[in-house]
Amino acid sequence: MQIVAFSDPNDLFSYAVTPEYVKRYVDSRLCPSVTNVQIQIATITNILGRREIANPETAHVDYEIDSRVLKMIVSGFSSDHGQEEVRERCDFIEKIPVY
């Protein structure tokens, strides 16, 4: 079973799915594999040229309209999957959890 969690750093209610969570709540017979995707959905706006701010509501609910998210869901989550926009606008960093 592939688990994919998308989160925007500006979303106050998103978090990564940890190995501890999977170990505790997902049946090991399903052979779970977790991919945490951190992607900035909300646009950063300058307020009076002094502060940069993003709308946390946009960061929380607009995943389904972001073309990069949709392309990753359709084509996969690696940098060589063939979606030009994702390759150009996303960086892929593989993290191997330490148990």
pLDDT tens sequence across 42-93: 888 887 776 778 888 888 888 888 888 888 788 776 555 557 777 666 766 6
| Residue 90 CB partners (closer than 8 Å, separation 6+) | 39, 68, 72, 79
Q: How many CB atoms lie within 10 A of CB 42?
A: 20
Q: Residue 51: its pLDDT value, please?
A: 73
| Dihedral, CA of residue 27, residue 30, residue 36 and residue 41, to nearest 10 | -100
Q: Residue 77: its pLDDT value, please?
A: 64
pTM of the model: 0.70
| Separation CA 4–CA 58 (nearest Å) | 20
**Contact present, 86 and 68 (Cβ < 8 Å):** yes
The pLDDT of residue 13 is above 70: yes
| Separation CA 12–CA 98 (nearest Å) | 26
pLDDT confidence bin for 1, thresholds 50/70/90? confident
